């Protein structure tokens, strides 16, 4: 049977066919749908959202130690969080197949950087597979489990946004019988004390030699002989772009780009007149090919930044510049916080109180856009609290108004340690936890504060206020962000307080059924509106400025924030 699947759905299907029993992830674009699809389609696989990627990899490793096949899924920057276990895992004995799915984001469609995670495979000394289609995403997931068990190593399955989120036709396959878990003890291979780890390191080095041999002979890496004038080494979606641009050329397609197949590369290089390495982001393959003493083109001509496409590859290799094109001067349409979003009024109030606002990763980062201009930093998950603490400490308590904002899911991911530090080291910053009861940016995933698992079962729900107090913060208040006056007053009090303070801004995401807005659009009385633009300052997509007056369009969610701010009482209705 054939189906059209995205790369992420195909990986989920591959996990099912490979007999994976345990799958864990923290949501992150473009990786999120892998675990969502497993939870929705394959009830036989245990699926869990973990608070962060380090936990995801460690629980999957535990399942593997028990003899079950397991996978952990994350976006590229998530692997940074999981890097600690990743670096030592290959030293340990892998029983059930263990796959790390890393979804990279060239072009930064929804990320804070465009790091190339292929380096992690080399860094951690683990094999890496890279599919070029949805069909291969499924097949390579199965192959990754098989390589993991054959060589006793974690395997990285690396995708990019254009593999994870592109769709193609996939042929369904048979399901492999999974191994039965059992308790075994392997202290010499699992207790990574120096004495044991020292013995395990050479095991990795020998394994890498064997894997290189496998890479040289595996059908994952294949020479496609065409016109010998141009030879292209490529992998991932870049291979498909290059195929589109030069369908007649010779190709060395690397489904297993690490460890690289040295003999195969020499063989291919010897067959072609001009050798090009076509890869997105860093010269990962190119550097290794050059280290073999083989001359080739690659990043001397192709861009290091952003994603590739058939046009860039065609014009770069052929040397024929594309037809000049001037983009029409159209107004941009950046993403923005939704009408009725509870973050908007909170950020507006914080900015009005003239606080410096250290931000974090989530929808609220969009509050950086004008007219709100209400986010001053954004580095990585959990960094905002720490920025604020570092900054406030330099100035001294009460000298400057320094605040941090962080979402609930991000707080559970990596905000707890920062807040503990802030309390322990006698910090003075204000931390606002934007509790919208979901992981909104990635499409509403549950987390430890929502009381629901990935499969919709009831579970524990963390009490944020109690948790914050337990971390050592005494000044904690919960506000309803739609009550702007009270929110502003509470922010003022918190900023004036000389010790550490936390405000929990609690209102469900406007995309959730539990939302606290009416959903009925408000309207502006043009007789009363004097065009003062106070409501426009909220940056709400529902409020337009037409003919020197405000106008509320049909996307209004009826949150009432603009109504409360309007000094002329010109906004109403919607009840």
Partner 1 sequence: MNVLMTGVGGQGIILASDMLADVMMRAGFDVKKSEIHGMAQRGGSVMSHVRYAKHVASPLIPLGECDILLSFEELEAARYVQYLKKDAVVIINRYRLSPPSVISGKEPYPDVLPILREKTDRIVIVDGSRIADEMGNPKGVNIILLGKLSTYLEADEALWTLTMNDMLKEKIRAANIEGFKRGRQA
Q: Which residues of this protein are in contact with partner 1, per CB under 8 A?
A: 2, 4, 29-30, 33, 109-110, 133, 161-162, 165-169, 237, 240-241, 243-245, 247, 309-311, 314, 322-323, 325, 327-338, 363, 366, 369, 371, 441-443, 536, 539, 541, 543-546, 553
> What are the residues whose beta carbons fall under 8 Å from the beta carbon of 443, sequence distance 6 or more?
27, 32
List C-alpha distances in Å: 490 to 240, 267, 291, 352.
55, 70, 61, 13
Cα separation, 143 vs 133, in Å, equals: 15
Minimum distance, C-beta of residue 439 to partner 1, in the bound complex (Å): 12
- Between residues 336 and 421, which has the closer beta carbon with respect to partner 1? 336
Q: Which runs of consecutive H residues, i.e. helices, occur in 66-117?
A: 76-81, 83-88
Q: Which is nearer to partner 1, 311 or 498 (CB)?
A: 311
Torsion of CA 79, 424, 405, 441, to 10 degrees: 30
CB of 155 or CB of 522, closer to partner 1: 522
Q: How far is the CB of 560 from partner 1 (least distance, A)?
A: 19
User: Which helix (H) or strand (E) covers residue 545, if one does?
Assistant: strand 543-546
Closest to partner 1 by CB, 75 vs 447, is 75
Cβ-Cβ contacts under 8 Å for 502 (sequence gap 6 or more): 419, 430, 431, 432, 433, 468, 473, 475, 476, 477, 494
Angle at 347 between CA 538 and CA 529, to 5 degrees: 20
Nearer to partner 1, 130 or 189 (CB): 130
- Name 300's bridge partners: none
Token pair recorded at residue 326: 């001037």
For the CB of residue 501, give the shortest distance to partner 1 in the complex, in Å.
30
β-partners of residue 543 are 552
- Give the DSSP H or E segment for 350: helix 342-352
Beta bridge partner(s), residue 278: 234
Give ∠ CA 402-406-407 in degrees, rounded to 5: 155
Nearer to partner 1, 29 or 288 (CB): 29
The answer to whether residues 393 and 427 touch, using CB atoms and an 8 Å cutoff, is yes
Nearer to partner 1, 397 or 536 (CB): 536
Q: For partner 1, which is the closer residue by CB, 282 or 544?
A: 544
Strand blocks (E) in 293-393: 356-358
Taking the least distance from each CB to partner 1, the nearer of 369 and 565 is 369
CB of 233 to partner 1, least distance (A): 16
Beta bridge mates, 432: 405, 503
The residues with which 254 forms a beta bridge, in sequence order, are 221
Least Å distance between CB 508 and partner 1? 17
Q: Which residue has the tokens 């109180």?
A: 353
Q: Please state, in angstroms and rounded to a whole number, the distance separating the CA atoms of residues 213 and 217.
A: 6
Q: Minimal distance in Å, beta carbon 537 to partner 1?
A: 9
What span, in angstroms and rounded, lies between the C-alpha atoms of 83 and 76?
11
Going by the DSSP 8-state scheme, the letter that residue 565 receives in this structure is: H
For partner 1, give the closer residue by CB, 19 or 407: 407
State the Cα–Cα distance between residues 309 and 301, nearest whole angstrom.
14
**Shortest distance, CB of residue 339 to partner 1, whole angstroms?**
9
**Separation between Cα atoms, residue 366 and residue 349, nearest integer Å:** 16
Task: Pick the closer one to partner 1 by CB: 251 or 356.
Answer: 251
160-177 in b/e form (b: 16+ CB < 10 A) is bbbbbbbebebeeeeeee
Kindly state the smallest distance separating residue 13's Cβ from partner 1, in Å. 16
Q: Compute the distance between CA of residue 575 and CA of residue 565 in angstroms, rounded to an integer.
A: 17
Task: Give min distance, CB of 546 to partner 1, in A.
Answer: 7
CB of 165 to partner 1, least distance (A): 6
Q: CA end-to-end span of the chain, whole Å?
A: 52
Q: Specify which residues 103 forms β-bridges with.
A: 75, 159
CB of residue 169 vs partner 1: minimum separation in angstroms? 6
Report the residue number, 135 or 353, with the smaller CB distance to partner 1. Answer: 135
Least distance to partner 1, CB of residue 437, Å: 18
Nearer residue to partner 1 within complex by CB, 30 or 342 = 30
Minimal distance in Å, beta carbon 321 to partner 1? Answer: 13
């Amino acid at each position: 049977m054939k189906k059209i699947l995205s790369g992420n759905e195909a990986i989920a299907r591959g996990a099912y066919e490979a007999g994976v029993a345990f799958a864990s992830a923290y949501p992150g674009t473009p990786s999120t749908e892998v675990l969502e699809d497993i939870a929705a389609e394959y009830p036989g696989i245990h699926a869990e959202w973990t608070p962060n990627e380090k936990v995801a990899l460690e629980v999957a490793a535990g399942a593997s130690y028990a003899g079950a096949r397991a996978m952990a899924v994350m976006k590229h920057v998530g692997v940074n969080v999981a890097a600690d276990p990743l670096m030592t895992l290959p030293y340990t004995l892998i029983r059930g197949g263990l796959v790390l799915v890393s979804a990279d984001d060239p072009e930064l469609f929804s990320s804070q950087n465009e790091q190339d995670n292929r380096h992690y495979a080399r860094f951690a000394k683990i094999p890496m597979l890279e599919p070029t289609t949805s069909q291969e995403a499924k097949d390579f997931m199965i192959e990754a489990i098989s390589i993991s068990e054959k060589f006793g190593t974690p395997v990285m399955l690396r995708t990019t946004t254009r593999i994870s989120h592109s769709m193609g036709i996939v042929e369904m396959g048979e399901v492999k019988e999974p191994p039965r878990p059992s308790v075994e003890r392997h202290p010499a291979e699992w207790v990574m004390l120096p004495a044991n780890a020292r013995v395990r390191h050479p095991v990795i080095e020998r394994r890498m030699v064997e894997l290189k041999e496998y890479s040289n002979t595996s059908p994952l890496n294949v020479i496609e002989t065409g016109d010998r004038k141009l030879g292209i080494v490529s992998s991932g979606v870049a291979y498909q772009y290059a195929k589109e641009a030069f369908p007649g050329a010779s190709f060395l397609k690397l489904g297993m780009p690490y460890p690289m197949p040295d003999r195969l590369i020499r063989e291919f290089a010897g067959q072609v007149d001009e050798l090009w390495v076509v890869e997105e982001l860093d010269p990962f393959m190119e550097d290794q090919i050059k280290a073999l003493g083989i001359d080739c083109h690659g990043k001397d001509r192709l861009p290091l930044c952003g994603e590739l496409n058939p046009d860039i590859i065609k014009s770069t290799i052929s040397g024929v510049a594309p037809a000049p094109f001037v983009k029409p001067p159209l107004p941009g349409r950046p993403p923005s916080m939704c009408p009725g979003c509870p973050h908007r009024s909170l950020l507006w109030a914080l900015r009005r109180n003239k606080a410096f606002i250290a931000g974090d990763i989530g929808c609220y980062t969009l509050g950086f856009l004008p007219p709100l201009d209400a986010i001053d930093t954004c580095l990585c998950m959990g960094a905002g609290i720490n920025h604020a603490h570092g900054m406030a400490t330099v100035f001294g308590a009460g000298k400057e108004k320094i605040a941090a904002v962080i979402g609930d899911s991000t707080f559970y991911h990596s905000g707890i340690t920062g807040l503990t530090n802030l309390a322990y080291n006698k910090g003075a910053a204000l931390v606002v936890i934007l509790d919208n009861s979901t992981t909104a940016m990635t499409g509403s995933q549950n987390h430890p504060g929502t009381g629901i698992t990935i499969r919709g079962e009831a579970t524990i729900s963390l009490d944020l206020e109690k948790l914050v107090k337990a971390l050592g913060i005494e000044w904690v208040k919960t506000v309803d962000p739609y009550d702007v006056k009270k929110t502003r007053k509470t922010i003022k009090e918190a900023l004036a307080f000389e010790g550490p303070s936390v405000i929990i801004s609690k209102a469900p995401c406007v995309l959730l059924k539990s939302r606290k807005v009416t959903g009925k659009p408000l309207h502006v009385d043009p007789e009363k509106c004097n065009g003062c633009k106070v409501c426009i300052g909220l940056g709400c997509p529902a409020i337009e400025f037409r003919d020197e007056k405000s106008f509320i369009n049909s996307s209004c969610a009826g949150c009432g924030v603009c109504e409360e701010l309007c000094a002329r009482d010109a906004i109403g209705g919607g009840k």
